[in-house]
Amino acid sequence: MPSTGIWNLSLALPSRRHLPKASTWGYAFIGGLNFAIAMLLAPFITVLYRKLGTHTTMCMGLLLQLTGFLGASFSTRIWQLHISQGALIGVGIGFLYIPCLPVLSQWFDKQRSLANGISAAGSGAGGAAFAWGTEAIIKRLGIGWALRITGIIAFTANTVATVFIRDRNKAIRPSQLGFDTRLLRRYEALLLLAWVFISMLGYVVLLFSLSDFALSIGLSRSQATDMIGLLNVGMAIGRPIIGIFSDRWSRMGTAGALTLVCGVSCFAFWLPATGYGLTAFFVISCGAIVGVFWMTIGPLCVEVAGIKNLQSLLSLSWAAVIIPATVAEGIALKLRRPGSSREYLYTQIFAGLSYIIAGGFMFQLRRVKQRRAQQQHQVQQ
């Protein structure tokens, strides 16, 4: 929930807060830095919470994130925003998110994807509230107070979550290595990491482009905010449903199909969108599936490496996110055609192709796992 609020505020900054020597690239870098810092520290955080425990590590994240929000609210230079809203909040999110992500997969087996889907739906519900809520706060109180209020809400909600969260590390005794390079020798792990890397390019480009895309086709700022809110509504509704299908059908098959569908929908609905109606339809339908990575990465890591190696493969997955999270929005800006009748054409094509190619890697992973399962079955007979 808080990370979505940060993203919404990042989208508002370029047009609402004109800082000295600040460029569009400078503002875009905030969102990418936020993602990248959280993932860059994942190996260190994995080792740290093995020593300190889940609760202590998450409490550190609470303080870091709140400090970042408060610092950003008083920033008057773009470099100050890079440090506060980009780096500090990113570090806080890493300290909060990395320790808690494996917890649901530790408690669930048959309904593991559904549990992760319900949990991920919370970011959609919170994101929708932040999308419309922060817009109202910005209009009445300004960006500074929007950041402070978002920080206080995030701190309160995450404090409650930190108090009640319980892991099973003592019972499972997972291999909590920052970088287990032995996993990189597995073909299945490399296929999973390729899916992570390429799909994240499309994910970041799509999410950070939707609001400005709405403005580029002539929609009003309030309508652009609607797109962010509707995207999160789609997330809240779609993610638990996807969890059900993933558990009943195939986790890898579901992840591959959804990744492919997201890419196709970019060409089928986003490319021809020139008004509010079709754009809203695309945003809602895409919102349900665009974050397939966040819904499925935990269960997929278990499928590939086993429950004991869950944290280790997750650390490698976070490392695979760093580069696309950092550069994807810059790529999107470079592909824009300002002044053209279809300003985001190349950006849309890039996002769609990223998801389609990533879907191919996931289907290959599914094929390899099925083939090896059949070979093991034949040996046992």
153 vs 167 pLDDT, higher one: 153
pLDDT at 14: 47
Q: Tell me, what's the pLDDT at 333?
A: 82
Q: What is the pLDDT of residues 62-115, one digit of tens each?
A: 999 999 999 988 988 888 888 988 889 889 988 988 888 778 777 777 777 777
Verdict on whether the full-model pTM lies above 0.85: no
pLDDT of residue 175: 59
Mean pLDDT of 307-313: 81
Confidence of residue 1 (pLDDT cuts 50, 70, 90): very low
Strongest mean pLDDT among 141-150, 160-169, 258-267: 258-267
Q: Alpha helices, DSSP H only, in the chain?
A: 2-16, 24-40, 42-52, 54-73, 78-81, 89-107, 112-141, 143-164, 169-172, 187-216, 221-248, 251-265, 276-287, 292-305, 310-335, 345-380
180 or 175: whose pLDDT is higher? 180
pLDDT confidence of residue 60: 94
Confidence at residue 95, expressed as pLDDT on a 0 to 100 scale: 92
Q: What is the pLDDT of residue 15?
A: 47
Instruction: Please return the burial class of 110, using the count of CB atoms within 10 Å of its CB with bins 0-12, 13-18 and 19+.
Output: exposed
| Per-residue pLDDT at 127 | 72
Out of 40-44, 307-311, 355-359, 374-378, give the one with best mean pLDDT. 355-359
Span 321-379, pLDDT tens digits: 888 888 887 888 888 888 888 899 999 999 999 999 999 999 999 999 888 878 776 76
Q: What is the pLDDT of residue 380?
A: 67
Work out the end-to-end distance of the chain between its first and last CA atoms, rounded to an integer number of angstroms.
49
| CB 337, CB 322: distance < 8 Å | no
Q: Where are the domains of the chain?
A: 2-380
> Looking at residues 216-235, what average pLDDT do you find?
87
Q: What superfamily would CATH give domain 2-380?
A: MFS general substrate transporter like domains (1.20.1250.20)
Does residue 132 surpass a pLDDT of 60? yes
Tens of pLDDT, residue by residue over 6-16, are: 554 554 554 45
